[in-house]
Amino acid sequence: MPAAAVRGAPPETLIVRSTRHGPVLSDILPPGTVEDGYVLALATPFLAGDDRTAEALWRINRATDWAGFRAALELFVAPQQNVVYADDAGTIAFIAPAQIPVRRNGNGWLPVPGWSGEYDWIGTVPFAELPQAANPAAGHFVSANNKIVPDTYPHFLSRDWDIPNRAQRIEELLTATPRLSPGGSAAIAADTRSIMAQRLVPLMTRIVPQSDMAREALHRLQQWDFTMDTDKVEPLIFTAWLRRFARDVLFARLGDAVAEYWDLKPQVMEAVLTQRPDWCAEPGPPNTVTCEARLEAALEVALAELRRDFGPEMSDWQWGRAHIAEFPNAVIDRVPLVGDWLRVAMPTPGGADTVNRGPSTIRDPARPYAHRHGAGMRIVTDLAAPGESRMIVAPGQSGNPLSPHFADLLQRWRAFDWLVPGRADAIATLTLEPAR
């Protein structure tokens, strides 16, 4: 096996073991990941040796109608994607292409014995049976990481669907305005109303407040319109309170094993408050802790943390002070001083379940409300006038942190301001050529 060259050090030989199922992962995982005498191997379609996904992308870029577009995606192997289609003839369509294994037993969600053949693949889901449709009666498709198949769908695709709140909100807005202008479409993308807050705040605010600050917080939440805007205090109070309540319930019930599961979990917390209040009590007798007591204690802790981090005045606790999107550079950020100097960040609206999405990693003790990911690029296109398409990308058009155009679109991106390509002459051209 040839050695890999390492700059400034002797060459290294990397050994990659594999089984008939695929490469051995346990060789690079922490000790104790698997029992002695066993290995953990990965079987996945894109390692099968006949992955033509790149060709599928090449073909869809040259397709002239839905039939050609769909045919190109028969070559798509992985990863499975929600793909939407529209053309100027009026056709709209949806498809989720991929090679999905069909197993003799199980669904591939957890490791299984690979030596017996009991869980081996016996084929793939036929292309015609993948989720797909064209020209639905509703006149639109909604794709927001929501579950795309009914419970009766015969093949296993995933169990990691996002909660349906964003899709539900989009449906609400489309129902209210079924014929949209480009501006109306942009307004839907900018929407910050949280269905999570809309459903949970009435349940959470039934408690009797224990302090003046808690009374003020409850009053604010009861008057809130559930929009996650940067200048509002309520999104931060709600998120901090739900964060603490979810933590208290989950850890009391399940212990430290729940550390990686802990999140806002709005559907779980709604079920606890409406169907399973026994989850608010710790396991075992006397089980005297109520959900009201949990909520009251969680609110006091959350308010104390916000007071510590954002000052004594509740009016200063605007969402935008905590909900900040950063755009790190994988190289520059590692350079002392220079990384801080070129840091690109912006307070943003939105939350975990808003159409204008802004999820946070609430398990992060240092920055639990930071905006972690979302739509870095936005496009609104009227196929009757594609030359007038509106576009924006964050943080800027250049990928060079030293360019004046590296982050000059950030304000426009946050404000849902747009650029229309072709309206002005190019100010610079970057040409990439292969090394000779």
**Contacts of range 246-249, beta carbons closer than 8 Å, 24 or more positions apart:** 247/298, 248/294, 248/297, 248/298, 249/279, 249/280, 249/294
H or E element: which one contains 379?
Answer: strand 377-380
Cβ atoms within 10 A of the Cβ of 205, count? 19
H or E element: which one contains 132?
Answer: strand 132-134
Residue 427 corresponds to which tokens in the numbers above? 């100010």
Domains delineated in the chain: 48-157 (3.60.20.10), 162-331+348-366 (1.10.1400.10)
Residues 329 and 23: their CA atoms lie apart, in Å, by 31
Residue 22 corresponds to which tokens in the numbers above? 């695929």
pLDDT mean over 187-216: 97
Residues 372 and 359: their CA atoms lie apart, in Å, by 6
pLDDT of residue 1: 59
pLDDT at 284 over 70: no
pLDDT of residue 48: 83
**Percent of the chain's residues with pLDDT above 90:** 80
pLDDT of residue 32: 86
For residue 429, what pLDDT band results from cuts at 50, 70 and 90? confident
pLDDT of residue 425: 87
Characterize the bridge pairing of strands 92-95 and 390-393: unpaired
List the beta bridge partners of residue 123: 102
Range in 165-179, 253-267, 282-296, 303-317 with the lowest mean pLDDT: 282-296
pLDDT mean over 241-252: 97
For residue 286, what pLDDT band results from cuts at 50, 70 and 90? low
pLDDT at 331 over 90: no
The CA angle 417-423-424, to the nearest 5 degrees, is 100
Range in 61-75, 255-269, 322-336 with the lowest mean pLDDT: 322-336
Provide the CB-side half-sphere exposure for 350 (13 A, CA). Answer: 29
Query: Can you tell me whether residue 93 is helix, strand or coil?
Result: strand
pLDDT at 423 over 90: no
Provide the CB-side half-sphere exposure for 408 (13 A, CA). Answer: 9
**Percent of the chain's residues with pLDDT above 70:** 99
pLDDT of residue 302: 98
Residue bearing the bigger pLDDT, 429 or 176: 176
Output Rg (C-alpha) for the chain, integer angstroms. 25
pLDDT mean over 339-365: 93
